[in-house]
Amino acid sequence: MSTHVAASTGSRALLSPRVVRSTVVPVIRHQVSALEPTLARICGYHLGFIDEHGDPSSGGDGKLTRAGLMMAVADGVGLRPEDVQSQAAAVELLHNATLLHDDIADTDELRRGRAAAWKVFGVSLAIHAGNALQALGLQMVVDDSGPGHQKIARSFAEALSLVHAGQARELALRPGPGSGTAAYEQMVKEKASALLEFSLATPALRAEKPENVLTALRGAGRHLGIALQISNDVEDIWGDPAMTGKPLRGDLKRRNLTFPVLVALSADGPAGNRLNRLWHADSTTETHLQSLADLIDEAGGRHSAQQLSRQHLDSAVEHLGRAGLSPAATTELTTLFDRIVNRAA
């Protein structure tokens, strides 16, 4: 993935993904390889270190988005990458734990262009593997004794609780007059924003920055998460599977109430009305999904989603500006925010 970034964004931003990768990946590899052998294999597969036969693999690893954000903020508060190395590895492990369990819960068969772990190793072992990654992340956070360690551990535990709450809330989402998008925002705040808030706030806790800096960074994380999730929602319907690593319209097939759908279902007018009729039909044929996609677009779901995602991205950048980081870090984070939201996966 660093080659992809190099091709698309030029030299200044190149530094960061390389540093992030070389700081975080060895730690994760080391920790994962020390797991019970079966778990090490499943987690190594999920993280893209090995293929399904246990052979070394270079494909399928994640973008280290959360570690990247954490290290950029670390730079912006005068810390070195090593100062938040454990926390950066931990947040990536936790993020991957949620993906492992999410794929089971959603019966998603593809992850980063490869078979999801539960398809390869079965549901039982994949549940335990997700738990193992979560426990590993936790161990790394509580084993750390650097400045602010207890506050960091607390915010890690809180993020973990929020993520699980958001995942459950997502499954409970129901279309309704007006209430749909409010419940959606609450869900996203928990599911997508919690780990981003943790990533942005941790270096400030380590550097023992005052409360206003933390508030600004957490606000940035909150808005970034909402922008990212809405952008993911748009990509599910109109994105490029080669970029997302997931089959097109998986959410649509499962009739998940993503943001464009919620907007379109509550829209007045012929497209919204027709969508409400077609939405509850069982069909998952490409033609039917295409009709749904067209109606969501016509009813304004795509436009509203893109607009709201942009607004939240702007708000994220605005909050970031209030954190008083170094100008170079602020510029880098602004670029990162944009890249995260606009090639979401």
Residue of 168, 165, 162, 230 lying closest to 195 (CA atoms)? 162
**Which range, of 14-22, 55-63, 97-105, 336-344, touches its own copies by CB under 8 A?**
97-105
Q: Shortest distance, CB of residue 115 to its own copies, whole angstroms?
A: 19
According to CB under 8 A, which one of 2, 57, 167, 311 is a site residue for its own copies?
167
Q: Are 275 and 295 in contact (CB under 8 A)?
A: yes
Using a 10 angstrom Cβ sphere, with 0-12 exposed, 13-18 middle and 19 or more buried, the burial of residue 79 is: buried
According to CB under 8 A, which one of 84, 99, 136, 200 is a site residue for its own copies?
136
Q: Are 321 and 285 in contact (CB under 8 A)?
A: no
Residue 131 or 331: the one with the smaller Cβ distance to its own copies is: 131
Q: Shortest distance, CB of residue 153 to its own copies, whole angstroms?
A: 5
Distance, in Å, from the CA atom of 151 to the CA atom of 147, rounded to the nearest integer, reads 9
Q: Shortest distance, CB of residue 124 to its own copies, whole angstroms?
A: 4
- 165 near its own copies, rule: CB under 8 A: yes
Residue 135 or 289: the one with the smaller Cβ distance to its own copies is: 135
- 293 near its own copies, rule: CB under 8 A: no
- 189 near its own copies, rule: CB under 8 A: no
Residues of this chain that interact with its own copies (CB under 8 A) are 35-39, 101, 104-106, 123-125, 127-129, 131-132, 134-136, 138-139, 141-143, 145, 149-150, 153-154, 156-158, 160-161, 163-169, 171-172, 190
